[in-house]
Amino acid sequence: MQFGPFMIRVDWLVLAVSGFAGFIAMQWMCKRTVIQGRLILDQFSSALLWIFMIWKLSPLISTPSLIINHPFLWLTMPGTLMGWWIGLIVGSFYLYRAWYRLGVSWWFIGDLFTFGGVITYITYSVIAWQYGGLTHLPWGISINNPEFNYHPINVYRLIILLPMLIWIWKHAGQIGSGKWLTTALKFPIMGLMIVSFFDSQPKWLLLLSSEQMVYLSLMLLGIGLSLRNGRRTPTLNSKKKEEGQNDTSGILQSHSRNLDINQIRPENPREEKKSFLSN
């Protein structure tokens, strides 16, 4: 798509719209949970701005002659791949320090961005149609020639992601426990990896494409986080039990003090009121 001298790729525009939908969903979730959630998203927006600025200004570093020969040409030029990676590293470092200073639980951040990621991926699957390999199944979709049908990859992804969204909605009270993050990294990611086998992508390593390697890494990360969260849950439960016992002992103590006070007071409060008025 062209807007005057600017050229905007349609796939980038679809990604931007999908990411905006996920960001709005996280804002809505933060309003229902904690006030610090807004600070989390503010820092995230600042990190995205850092990444974009470094990526956009990267042509000036790779080709300094642009400043002298064409001082305004870099405005219409896309950034470089190296600028993208440098911006990602700088933005990640900035985001880590900002969130660390806030003191918010990393499990809450993981659950929050899991919700936003699911909404983003669902929006992207609805907007952008993606076709996979050839198929003879009845739900295959043809593009130009009706004799050739292709796998509707985006529909498969919706079938995988919508149950995850329903599960998150039913377990809304568990945000911050890490359950959303670990569950999403195991089961939906496994489903998305299975769906990727119906897509025609070049193999990258170990007969797997780059997308499948990312899914495999996320599944291994999910298993590791599940084990760590499993060790953390009994500790939290024991702390809650201790706090509950302390609260119970406090109630019993206050109740015993009330019993002592009741023994001093007269049995009939009306007689006490009459004697007070007579005096």
Kindly give the interhelix angle for 10-32 and 36-62, rounded to the nearest 10 degrees.
160
The helix or strand, by DSSP H or E, that contains position 204, with its residue range, turns out to be none
Q: What is the pLDDT of residue 241?
A: 52
Q: Are 185 and 219 in contact (CB under 8 A)?
A: yes
Query: Which pLDDT score, from 0 to 100, does residue 266 have?
Result: 44
The two tokens of residue 242 are: 């201790």
pLDDT of residue 32: 76
Alpha-carbon gap, residue 32 to 177, rounded angstroms: 16
Which structure tokens are listed for 266? 């007269």
122 is written with which tokens? Answer: 């669902």
C-alpha 40/C-alpha 98 separation (Å) is 8
- pLDDT at position 20 over 50: yes
**Helix, coil or strand: residue 134:** strand
Q: Give the count of beta carbons closer than 10 Å to the beta carbon of residue 111.
A: 26
**pLDDT at res. 165:** 93
pTM greater than 0.75: no
Please state, in angstroms and rounded to a whole number, the distance separating the CA atoms of residues 251 and 242.
Answer: 14
The pLDDT value given to residue 256: 38
Residue 223 vs residue 274, higher pLDDT: 223
Residue 184 CA to residue 218 CA, distance in Å, equals 9
Q: What pLDDT sits at residue 235?
A: 56
Q: Highest-confidence range of 95-104, 110-119, 146-155, 257-266, by mean pLDDT?
A: 110-119
Are β-strands 6-7 and 131-135 bridged in parallel, bridged antiparallel, or unpaired? unpaired
- Residue-wise pLDDT for 179-225, tens only, equals 999 999 989 999 999 998 888 776 776 778 888 888 999 999 988 88
Residues 75 and 72: their CA atoms lie apart, in Å, by 6
More confident residue, 221 or 274: 221
pLDDT value for 161: 94
Q: Where is pLDDT greater, at 31 or 239?
A: 31
pLDDT value at position 269?
Answer: 43
User: 3-class DSSP state for residue 190?
Assistant: helix
d(CA 180, CA 189): 13
Q: What is the pLDDT of residue 139?
A: 85
Per-residue pLDDT at 265 exceeds 80: no
Answer yes or no: are the C-beta atoms of 111 and 184 closer than 8 Å: no
Instruction: Tell me whether residue 152 is exposed, middle or buried, using C-beta atoms within 10 angstroms of its C-beta: 0 to 12, 13 to 18, 19 or more.
Output: buried
What pLDDT, in 10s, does the model give residues 55-89?
888 877 777 766 666 666 666 677 788 888 899 99
Output the pLDDT for position 200: 72
pLDDT digits (tens, 9 = 90+) for 245-260: 444 444 334 343 343 3
Tell me, what amino acid is at 216?
L
Higher pLDDT, 57 or 264: 57
The pLDDT tens digits for 114-166 are 999 999 999 999 998 888 888 888 888 888 877 888 889 999 999 999 999 99
Q: How far apart are CA 196 and CA 157, in angstroms?
A: 9
For residue 5, the model assigns a pLDDT of: 58
pLDDT of 277 > 60? The answer is: no
